[in-house]
Each structure stands twice: as structure tokens, then as C-alpha cells.
Structure 1
């Protein structure tokens, strides 16, 4: 009977991502590039598809054009077998308003669940970097008898005030006793007093229980219509919520170093730090796990090319170079270069994330910076070397990083 359990996956991808500005000035947070070739949403979708769930809807809202285009062009399934990844924009099906929160997004999209009639609904966010086999979580959910299961990752007790924290009882550590939003007085786990279980924003529901919960929440006065803030606590109050410890998830091909990796890239600092995890000699997040690939598409980009030019030898180390990158006699260290980036002779790039089509001119210097799409850095210019000079030129300086948004003009 288990083998016939029907699962629908819902990816919540309507986030605005204000803390990632200016990277989200022209795109939704899940559409932000990550690790050169990919978009953030590719990680959530790859996890769902690798888990064997091939009927997937992506709920979009904020500045969703590039996100919808990427999903439509990249994530094509066999329609003959009934498989699909479908972007679904906000449609005002229940009134003249857009999504009021993640729970309201599902409520306004209940037609998708009614059409598919699944037994189980897997609900995941679209803006975290990790690998996870959701089929193991679904099996745990079915065995537990819970109507709602929340994926949780262990975090130090000292960081509890940064997360939604799951409190469990020593007598039944699989059940959620209380769901606490960024508590300042959290208690450690029964088996690890120095740790807490933090919600990952991934859930498994019995389909009928989810439909009932979001329908009831839609009429609750004072509700924020949020999955973590309203729906999960409602299940907890009825003793119907369980927890799944991410530590128990075993992904094929994972190494001891990158097993259990999960990064919330909600700020510019964490976004940059996650890129440094990728480029380290023994990567904390390994892009080269071919047993659990991260899927994407880049079109007809040629291979990356590294050549000596202008009397300068190319020097590249601890760097991720995407298709179409050309490093001509420049230096690139501890950096991630997206497709079609060019680095000219004598240029020096270190600790940088350069997105699609960025060009670094001859002799230019880039340090500790995030440069969005199509920015041209002139010959001899400096970015990230002097923060006061960067601010004077209208560049954003945040978390020790200099950040230039998409198509940002470089002042003379």
C-alpha cells in the first residue's frame, strides 16, 4: 500500500527577499543565482525530483518573470507519464488580494490539490541550499501517525533566537510539544542539552489535514497566514505534529564533510559565506555529488577558458568557473564566476561572486564583493578595496561586502 501513496510537492517560491537587496530588486529571491550556474530554486526542485516526486507545483508571486521563465524552460518532465513542474502565479481565486502569507498561498491554490487528489503533500521552501531525500521524511511521517511533520536541523542553543525552535518532550521526542518563534529562553534537547531543533521550513502533511488547516486559517482573525507561524502551531495544539530530524537523512553520495549541510541564504553575508563553502578545497557543500545532482540549464554556453594574455599568466585557485567564463591573464582566487564572465589581463579578483555577463577590465581589482548581472568594471578600477570610496560611488556596503546590483552603471 505504501508504494501506491500519491505525493504532490508544493514549492513556496513567492518570497520577496528584502534582506538580499539589491540582488532581489529585479527578481524573486528563489530566482537569485547561486554557485554560478544555478538559481536558488534549483536546489529545492532537485531535492524533490531526486526524491522521486515528479508532480510539482511552484507557487510564485513577487517579480516572478525570470523565475517563471527559468522553471518553464529548465524543468520539463515527461507529460506522457503525467509528470510536471508547473509554475503557478497568484491568481486571486478567493478574492481581490494577492497571497497574504505562505499558508494563504496554499489556500488560494487548493484547486491544485483537489485536481491531483494526493494522499500526501510535501511543502518546501525555495531559498535554502542543501540536499535532502524527502522520501525518507515521508516514510517517517507515515510511520509516525502524525498529520503534520516538520523537518528540523540541530543548531547550537546559543543561536535559538534566530530560528523557529521545536520543543520536544523527553518521553516522546518525535512529537512537537511546542513551536517557538525565535525564543530567548529555549531549552536544549533531551539527548543534547547544548542544541535545539530549528525548523527548516520543509513540511509533510496528510493532504486532507492540510486542506482543512489552511481553510480554517483563512477565517482566523489575527492570523498571519504563515505555515510556520500559524499552521504548524495549530497542529501542535491538537497533538498532531511530529518532527523529522535532518540528521537522520542519508543522501546518496554525501561525504562526511558535507552530510547534513543546510544554509539559509537570506542575507548578503550568509549568501556570500555559502559561496565560500562551495569554493573551499574540501567543499563544505559539494557540487560534485553525481549520485544526487543539482539540475539546471544554461543554454549553449561554451566551455570555460583560461589563457595567458597581455604578458600575464592566468592564475586561478579555489574558484568555480561556469560555462562561458574566460580568464585572460587575470588572477581569480576564492571566487565564483557565473556564465559569460570575463576577466582581462592583470585583473585581480579575490573573494568575489560575479554573476552572468560581468566583465572585469584590465588591471581592475575586485575584493570581497558580489557583482550582479551585466556590470562592467572598467580597466584599473577598484571594488571592495576601500569601503568609503565604494559608498561615495553609490555602491552598497553591507556585512563587509561591496554589492553592485544588476546593470549597475560604474561611475567615471
Structure 2
């Protein structure tokens, strides 16, 4: 992989994930307690032996830039020509924001050319999955392909949100439609389509030529799926590479169902997180053969206190017990007499006495006051929930308080949100980006 440069597109707004993306880019949104969404693509790169990475950012990139600096730079050695560079918009070619995925790469073409690569891998930094990119690059070389596209089986309804491909017996792409209203299904498999994962391998010289050509077209959207790939399939060697999941069970066997998630909506994000707390989740985060890396904060281990103690010693007083059941609990958490069930608790969260947290996701530094009750909620970094507050039990009241309610009924409280008992309009206070 020495002659391969990997470009990770990490500049999306993530508007469907607001308010979680109010102060951060979508790839920087926390996932699974300790991780950020981009950690999955970066872990795949590291596990695949890819050591030359350019992360292209755009909107609200400070949090993402800081995360990569503290969590990832130590894995790469400049003296060995390894790097992970965060590249903000340079405006060296144009004075505008990126117009599409192809334009984002085109505007950074000098940074790629400088490494004189033989192949360029382009992938998105906002999906949850495990994949060996080296196998895809090897396939690309074996086919002498100009472009290879990562391919995923998807339902007909899901495929409307992706590029849809048709292939021949040699896996060469003979048709490609970007986000079609009526996707073409795989022959003999009604209701199933072959969808693009947004992962591409290019011959470097071919990529540079196509990007320069596309940049001159006024009617182009400057997008790989909408423009470059459809224009190349009739004249060049364009192949599909079927997704090979590296997700394994406790015995080391590849899981039966391939795992790939676009956590682009609040409900999809919530469900993907909640899957992690199952006894046998679809995504195995404990597989040491394909580890997912992220930032490990230097804080104490989690602590659970007040076991079955009767406060005040009086008869009839409620018991308080610090406990967490069917949950993921990160470093620095203190369950100080509070109860957590079926939830993901981020670093340095405190759940105080007699509080209850169920089916929820708490980001770093959240404080749950005494006797508070939280159900089906996502609470962003550093939010304080007052004593006795109830969230997720009366959605209309939560809506009056100014909280976001997802279509699936998940209450989302943004970072910096003022949380009051009375149904008043919440106000955000200026906070550091994170």
C-alpha cells in the first residue's frame, strides 16, 4: 500500500443530525461512548495497512481536527513517510466551498499529486462498518480497473438514497444511476439492489485527468456518483467490488449479516448506538482481530456507589444503589446512587442518587440530578439535568421546553442547552466547540 494515498471526505454538514451537528461536523459526532463516527473509517485504514491519509474537512471542523490530533497522530511516523493530515479548504483553485465530492478532491489535487501515488482511495468519513480496503485495492489491480466502486446489497427502498449499479458476469459496471426514484433490482432478486458505498479506488493518473475535465463542465454537479462514474462506464474499465464485512462474532467467525450503517438521521443514529448494548450485537466492538481505535481519556475507571443503602436509615425511605445494567459505561463515570439501564454512558458522566436513566445516550460530562428520570433521550456534552427533572415521559412538554424530538420519539438536548422544569424556550450559552 506504499503507492496508495487515501482521501477521506469529512466535510459534510450533517444537517439531519442536528442539533448534534450544531457545533461539530458529522464525522466528529460521538458514537458508542468513546468513539467518534470517523474512527471507523480511520480504523479500517490502519487495519488495512493504509498509512498515507488526507482528511478533507469543511464545516465546523475544529472538533474533528482536535480529535484526530489527540487520538490518531501517534499511529503515524513522518520519518517513514506515513501521515494523517487534516486539510481544510485551501481555495487554491477556486474561491468557493466544495461543490461536490469530486470537486473536494479536485481542489486538493496538489496535495495528492505531491505523493506521486499509483492509486487513490476515496471514502466517506461518516459511516459505521468494518472493511479491509486492501482487498479492494488488490481487486482493482487484478482487474486493471480505472475505477472500482465498493458495492453493498440494499433493499429497493434504501437504494433510493444511494448510487445504484448494474454489473455483468465479470463484475464490470454497465449501468449507474445516482439516487434513482425507481432503482433497478439485481436480476433474479426482486426488491434487492446493488448500491454504491461511496468508496472508490482510482488509478491516480486517470483520476487527475477526469477531475480536471469535470472541473471545466458548467453543467456538472462535480460529484463522483452523479458525474464522474456514469461518464466513465462506457469508455473505461469500471468495476464493482462486493462489500466484505470484517465484523466477527466471539468465536472469530464472520457474522452472517453484513454490517454497514449510514447514521445520517437522529433515529438511525440512536438505533445504531442502542444495538451495541445487546448481548450479541450486530457490530462487535470487542473483536481484537479488527480493533476500532479512538481517544482514550486519561481519567479514572467508572465507579458505582451506595449499594442497597437506605438513605437516612428511616423505615420506608427509598433505596439508592449505583448500578448500570445492559449498558456501556465509559471511563470516569460515577453512578452515585443512580440507576442506568439499556444506555450508553460517555466519559465523566455523573448519575446522582435516585436518578433513573433508561434507553438513552449521554455524552461526555453530562450530570443527571437527584431524582431525575431520563428515558429515550440523547443528551449532548456537558448538559446538566436539574434535580427531579423528567425527560422523555411527556413529549409535548419536552417540545414546549424547546428540545428536539425525532420522528421516532427520541428527545435530543443540544450542547449548551438550558434545561428548566418550566416549559420555556431553551437558550444556548456560548461554549467551546467539541
Contact 1:167 1:176 in 2 (8 A): yes
Identify which of 45, 48, 52 aligns with 2:45. 48
2:290 counterpart residue number? 292
Alignment of 1:115-130 (within 5 A): 115-130=114-129
1:32 aligns with 2:29: yes
Alignment of 1:113-192 (within 5 A): 113-169=112-168, 171-172=169-170, 174-190=171-187, 192=189
Contact 2:368 2:387 in 1 (8 A): yes
Contact 2:146 2:236 in 1 (8 A): no
- What is the CA–CA distance in structure 1 between the aligned matches of 2:353 and 2:226, rounded to whole Å? 52
Q: Deviations over 1:298-350 (max 9, x none)?
A: 33121111222654123322211111111122221111111111111111111
User: What is the DSSP-based 3-state SS (H/G/I as helix, E as strand, rest coil) of the residue aligned with 1:205?
Assistant: strand
- What is the CA–CA distance in structure 1 between the aligned matches of 2:104 and 2:305, rounded to whole Å? 50
Contact 2:341 2:359 in 1 (8 A): yes
Alignment of 1:93-112 (within 5 A): 93-112=92-111
Contact 1:258 1:284 in 2 (8 A): no
Contact 2:127 2:260 in 1 (8 A): yes
Identify which of 413, 424, 429 aligns with 1:404. 413
The aligned length equals 406
1:186 Cα deviation after fit: 2.5
Higher strand proportion: 1
User: What is the DSSP-based 3-state SS (H/G/I as helix, E as strand, rest coil) of the residue aligned with 1:165?
Assistant: strand
**Structure 2 stretches lacking a partner, 5+ long:** 312-318, 422-434
- What is the CA–CA distance in structure 2 between the aligned matches of 1:40 and 1:388, rounded to whole Å? 31
Q: Deviations over 1:57-89 (max 9, x none)?
A: 100110101111111222121122111111011
Identify which of 275, 278, 298 aligns with 2:276. 278
Alignment of 1:3-402 (within 5 A): 6-76=3-73, 77-169=76-168, 171-172=169-170, 174-190=171-187, 192-246=189-243, 248-250=244-246, 255-257=253-255, 260-308=258-306, 310=311, 311-399=319-407, 400-402=409-411
1:114 Cα deviation after fit: 1.2
Q: Deviations over 1:374-395 (max 9, x none)?
A: 1101111011111100011111
Q: Deviations over 1:77-119 (max 9, x none)?
A: 1122111111011010112222222111110101112110111
Contact 1:365 1:381 in 2 (8 A): yes
Q: Return the TM-score normalized by structure 2.
A: 0.90
Q: Return the TM-score normalized by structure 1.
A: 0.94
1:255 Cα deviation after fit: 4.3
1:31 Cα deviation after fit: 0.7
Contact 1:9 1:121 in 2 (8 A): yes
- What is the CA–CA distance in structure 2 between the aligned matches of 1:191 and 1:329, rounded to whole Å? 58
Aligned-residue CA RMSD (Å): 1.7
1:125 Cα deviation after fit: 0.3
- What is the CA–CA distance in structure 2 between the aligned matches of 1:160 and 1:11, rounded to whole Å? 23
- What is the CA–CA distance in structure 1 between the aligned matches of 2:59 and 2:185, rounded to whole Å? 37
**Structure 1 stretches lacking a partner, 5+ long:** none
Q: Which moved more, 1:33-42 or 1:303-312?
A: 303-312
Structure with max Cα Rg: 2
- What is the CA–CA distance in structure 2 between the aligned matches of 1:250 and 1:75, rounded to whole Å? 21
1:365 Cα deviation after fit: 0.9
User: What is the DSSP-based 3-state SS (H/G/I as helix, E as strand, rest coil) of the residue aligned with 1:231?
Assistant: helix
Q: Deviations over 1:24-61 (max 9, x none)?
A: 11111111111111111111111011100011110011
1:182 Cα deviation after fit: 2.6
1:256 Cα deviation after fit: 4.2
- What is the CA–CA distance in structure 2 between the aligned matches of 1:146 and 1:206, rounded to whole Å? 8
Q: Alpha carbons of 1:209 and 1:280: their partners in 2 closer, same or farther (altered >3 Å)?
A: same
User: What is the DSSP-based 3-state SS (H/G/I as helix, E as strand, rest coil) of the residue aligned with 1:279?
Assistant: coil
Contact 1:72 1:86 in 2 (8 A): no
- What is the CA–CA distance in structure 2 between the aligned matches of 1:334 and 1:219, rounded to whole Å? 53
- What is the CA–CA distance in structure 2 between the aligned matches of 1:378 and 1:185, rounded to whole Å? 49
- What is the CA–CA distance in structure 2 between the aligned matches of 1:364 and 1:97, rounded to whole Å? 48
